[in-house]
Amino acid sequence: MEEILYKVHNNLYVNLTNKCPCACTFCLRQNMDRIGESNSLWLDHEPSFEEVKAAFEQFNLSAYNEVVFCGFGEPTEALDVLLQTAKFVKNTYKKKIRINTNGLGNLVNNKDITPLFKDLIDTVSISLNTSNADDYHKLVQSKFGDCSFNEMLKFAESCTNYVPNVILTTVETTISKDDEAACQKICDKIGATYRIRPWED
C-alpha cells in the first residue's frame, strides 16, 4: 500500500511523487527509505487526488499543526494533485499548508506556478543550499543545468508576492559561516527568511 501521508514531529507530510529534477549529493533517500513515522516512501505509482483524499480521511487532522508537501520527490512534479489537495485541506480542515521544495517548480512545469499558491499556501520552504551557482550545481546536480541556481532565486522572489512566509534553507555544518552570511544577504535582498536547519529536518 502506498504511503501517501506520514507524521514528522507534529506535522502531517504528503508524499505525492518520487520524481525529482535533482540528484543532490546529500539527499536522504540515497541511504534510507523512510523519514519520521513512515515505513517506506518509495511509491509504486503517483497517487491521484482521490487516493490522497482517502488517505486524509484515515487521519485525525486535529492532532497536527501543519500539512507539509514533502516526500521522496519534488512536490511540484505533481502540481495538479498538490493544488487540488491543498484546496481540499484548506476547505475541510482549515490547516496551515507548507511546501518543501527545491525551488525548480517553474522549470519543471515550464511556467510560473507561483501565482497558483495565492490564498492557498502559507509557507514555501526552498532549499538554497549555498550562496553561489557553482557550488549549488555541484551539490544539487540539477538536470536543468547551470540556470538552476538563478531560476531557484527567481522562484523564491516571485513566491514572496503570493505566499505569506517564504523561507530559504541551508543545512547546518555543510557550509562555512562566511557562506551562511552570504546566504543571509541573498534572503534579505529577496525578502525571504533565512533558516539553517538540522540535516534530517
pLDDT, one tens digit per residue, over 62-89 is 999 999 999 889 999 999 999 999 999 9
Angle made by CA atoms 55, 41, 84, in degrees to the nearest 5: 40
At residue 105, the 3 state secondary structure works out as helix
Local confidence pLDDT in tens for the 201 residues of the chain: 578 999 999 999 999 999 999 998 876 666 555 565 556 687 899 999 999 999 999 999 999 999 999 988 999 999 999 999 999 999 999 999 999 999 999 999 999 999 999 999 999 999 999 999 999 999 999 999 999 999 999 999 999 999 999 999 998 888 899 999 999 999 999 999 999 988 664
Sheet strand arrangement including 11-14: 5-8, 11-14, 66-69, 96-101, 123-127, 165-171, 193-197
Q: Which domain holds residue 165?
A: 5-197
**How many structural domains does the chain have?**
1
Name the pTM for this structure.
0.93
Nearest to 140 by CA among 185, 174, 102: 102
Phi first, then psi, for residue 8 (nearest 5°) are -130, 120
- Cα 140 to Cα 74: distance, rounded to the nearest angstrom: 13
Contacts with 181 (C-beta within 8 Å, 6 or more apart), sequence order:
none
Q: CA 96 → CA 40, 62, 93, 119, distances in Å?
A: 25, 12, 9, 11
CA separation for the pair 151, 48 (Å, rounded):
29
Nine cell digits for residue 11 = 506535522
Task: Collect all residues with Cβ–Cβ distance below 8 Å to 49 and sequence separation of at least 6.
Answer: 80, 81, 84, 85, 88
Whether residue 138 contacts residue 151, with contact meaning beta carbons closer than 8 Å, is answered with no
- The CATH code of the domain that includes 145 is 3.20.20.70
pLDDT on residue 16: 96
pLDDT at 35: 60
Whole-number Å distance between alpha carbons of 167 and 60: 28
